Chains A and B, each alone.
Chain A
Amino acid sequence: MTLIVFVMDVPTAWSQQMIGGRQYNSGNQFYHPLNQRTPPGVAGQWASMSGQVQPGYIQPMKFSLPSKGNLTFYAGGPDQAIQKSSPASIGFGVGYVYRVKISGMPEFPGVELYPTIELIDRLHPPAGLAEQYPIPVSFTAEDIELVLSGRMVTKVVYLERPQTAVPAQFDRQPTQTITAQKNLIAEADLLGRPMLILRMGGRLPSTVGEDPAFFGNGAPVVELNSPAVKN
Chain B
Amino acid sequence: MKYYFLALGTLVVVCVGCAADGQQVIKKGEYHAPPAAMMQRPGPMVDGPGPGVLPMLAPPPMSAYAARTSQVRFVGPAGMKVGWQVAEGYAENQLTAPGRYNFNQGATYRLKLSHIPGRSIPALYPSLQVYPSHPTTDAYLSHNSIPLEITPEDLDQVESNNFVTKVIYLPDEKFQELAIAGVETLVSTRLDPGVDPVAEADRRGTIMAVLRMGNMDLEMPSGDGGSETVSQVSYDGDAGAHMAPMPIPGEMIGVASGVPVPTMMGGMGAPGQPAYNPIAGMGPTPAWGMPMTGTPIGLPGPPHIPLGGPASLKSHTIRNVSKTNLPKPVDHFLVDVKQDPAPSLPKPVKYVQYSESHPVHSPGQVSYPRTMAPGPGY
Show the binding face of A for B, using Cβ within 8 Å.
22-23, 25-26, 29-34, 36-43, 46-47, 50-54, 114-116, 120-121, 146, 150-154, 177-181, 185-186, 188-189, 193-194, 199-204, 206, 208-211, 213-214
Contact = CB atoms under 8 A, between A and B. Distances in A.
A13 to B, nearest CB: 17
Given A52-B377, A116-B143, A199-B143, A177 B179 contact: yes
B135 A39 contact: yes
B368 interface: yes
Contacts of B64: 41
B13 to A, nearest CB: 59
* Residue picked from A25, A46, A193, A201, most chain B C-beta under 10 Å: A201
Contacts of A214: 142
27 contacts: A33-B366, A36-B139, A37-B136, A39-B66, A39-B135, A41-B64, A46-B368, A47-B371, A51-B377, A52-B370, A52-B378, A53-B371, A120-B372, A151-B178, A179-B179, A180-B176, A180-B178, A181-B174, A181-B176, A189-B370, A201-B140, A202-B145, A203-B71, A206-B101, A206-B102, A209-B102, A211-B102
Contacts of A152: 139-140, 143-144, 180-182
Interface of B: 63-66, 68-69, 71, 73, 100-102, 135-136, 138-145, 147, 173-174, 176, 178-183, 242, 244, 359, 361, 364-378
Given A31-B361, A181-B174, A40 B368 contact: no
A31 B180 contact: no
A146 B179 CA distance: 11
Q: Determine the main DSSP class of B at the interface with A.
A: loop
Given A53-B378, A115-B143, A41 B65 contact: yes
Contacts of A188: 369
Contacts of A180: 173, 176, 178-181
A47 B372 contact: yes
B71 to A, nearest CB: 5
Contact of A150 (B102, B147, B375, B377): B147
Nearest to B377: A51
A152 B142 CA distance: 11
A201 B364 CA distance: 36
Contacts of A36: 139
A23 B181 CA distance: 31
A50 B373 contact: yes
Contacts of A29: 365
A52 B71 contact: no
Contact of B372 (A43, A199, A210, A211): A43
Contacts of A32: 366-367
Contacts of A121: 369-371
A19 to B, nearest CB: 12
A210 B244 CA distance: 12
A124 to B, nearest CB: 9
Given A116-B143, A152-B144, A201-B140, A39 B369 contact: no
B290 to A, nearest CB: 61
